[in-house]
Amino acid sequence: MMKSISTIAGVILIGFGLYFGWVNGVANGAKVVYCDPRYSITASKADEYYAIRPLTDHAFLLAMIHVVVNEELYNKKFVAEQTIGFDELKQRVQKYTPEWAAPITEISADTIRRIAREMAAKAPSVFVYAPRRLTRSSNDLGTGLSITILNTLFGVWDRKGGIFSPIVFKVPEPELPEFEHAHIAKRLDTGGDFNYAIPNVPLEHIADEHGKFHRADGAGVPGRWPIANAQYGLTNKMWEAMADQKPYPIKMLLTAGGNGFLNSTNYDVIRKALMNLDFYVAADVIPNEMNMYADILLPEASYLERYDDLQIGGAREGYVAVRMPAMKPLHETRGSWDICKQIADRVGLGAYFPHDSIEELLDARLKNVGSSLAEIEEKGIIKVARDDKKNFPGEHGQMSQFPTPSGKAELIPSPLKMMGFDDALDYEEQVRPNEDEFHFTFGRIGFHTHARTQDNIWTAEFMRENELWIHPDAAKKRGIQHGERVKVTDRKGRTEEIKAKVTPRIRKDSVFMVHGFGHFDPRMTTAYNQGASDCNLASQAEDPRVGSTSMGQSLVKVAKA
């Protein structure tokens, strides 16, 4: 499901700087409400901005649900025909009044009530956006659930201005021989017990203390982290498993473009995990802190020098595109497909890469849909025309099937109830800073891509180092001047030094820094020792239901360096 932004009438953004994604909706008159502790570019373009207290989004959403339910502002037809669990939801949100939420969020009860009414009046052409990351509080599961409930009450599914069903350009996968151990991989994905022998690998080397084999990170595994997405996994839990060598030893690692030091929060665990390996192979375009540890570093061609597999997209129009090289590789590098094929050939898995080149693979796949690599190189993209009846069946008296056991939108999801996690709907008090502390917040910037472009001399011209945003009153209290270096220390004693950006665009109880800086690999000649690492200060706590890292729970002190 995707958002129909160009025809949207109202949108609530919860800490998601999405301005350039919904600018067309704004041009067409959409009302935008933005909640964020920091006054960002998105906040400056919103109709209404609220400097919500960090980690209290859930309280704001519950109060909105309370108003919509009790004032009967929901889409009655949609709720009656397409949902289950409304009566239970109504009972459970009775205590979450706007008056209850006001002192928690620092958004007035009248404002919460008015926003709920105005959005309901614009429904179904409205949408409540989730944050960019649901890895902030100790109960982001509840935050995400509340966002979904609110959108469902507004009846946004399959409606113009709401959520539409994408049209996907279907391209068959290449025909390959069946993997000899496919049953093992399937059990690994679903967290099932392992009862099969892998040739030349003693079972006790990969089994847990009970003789059973599970994913090392526990994602999707009953009794560990059953609700975690098994497709994406839990990076923090994988690092812990490698560091502790439990539930079984992991002695080899192959990464492509990864840098755990700049996307995870526990440097010590990552170092221990890497040092426990017998063999580590990294494929990458650039040096970084993690591939410093690699036994073998495979130089990958940059995006300007290689083909990649088909990009098959689904939106109002289905499409197929492909990355094509603009130039030949300057050095002895390989594209990712070539790297994988050459490794496969050398370990006896060449049958799963039957094509001699990625160009041959792309051409074969495209010919299955009546096209060719030559055609897409000429046109750049091939598309399936948009179809309103498929995009918006709700506008034509039909409705998509919901991927739930009941086939309906479950306001209190039955899988959560079955696992005992439906209490995530209930609000949980979050950490609060002492008088001499701040909430530590962080986010991305349009000039850089994650932590991968800070060493690029051209993008570094836009932002060479990050700064710590701090409110003028808080800075004055500590004798901090704009541009001075400050020391930021969390409750675990982790410390970073950074320049101060004294600005009223941040709450007095919060500080902020841009993600992706603080590189400590001396091979990164432009980014080395520039700015500070948000990952080294972000919280290491975890969501007790999901297992993901609750990065936003960090509290820090700031002093002159």
Average pLDDT, rounded, for the chain? 89
Across the range 447-468, mean pLDDT stands at 94
Q: 21 falls in which pLDDT band (50, 70, 90)?
A: low
407 vs 10, which has greater pLDDT?
407
CB atoms within 10 A of CB 403: 7
Q: State whether the Cα torsion 58-64-69-74 is positive or negative.
A: negative
What's the pLDDT tens digit per position in 391-400? 787 777 877 7
Residue given tokens 């129909």 in the structure block: 4
- Could you read off the pLDDT of 183-202 as tens digits, one per residue? 555 555 444 444 434 444 44
Q: What is the pTM of this model?
A: 0.90
Structural domains for the chain = 2-165+396-424 (3.40.228.10), 302-389 (3.30.2070.10), 438-560 (2.40.40.20)
pLDDT on residue 197: 40
Phi-psi region of 220 (alpha: psi -120 to 50; beta: other; left: phi over 0): left
| C-alpha separations of 48 from 30, 45, 51, 115 in Å | 12, 9, 10, 10
Q: What is the structure's pLDDT at 182?
A: 59
Q: Considering only 169-173, 199-203, 368-372, which range has the smallest mean pLDDT?
A: 199-203
Residues whose CB falls within 8 Å of the CB of residue 470, separated by 6 or more in sequence, listed in order:
438, 480, 486, 500, 501, 502, 503, 506, 511, 558
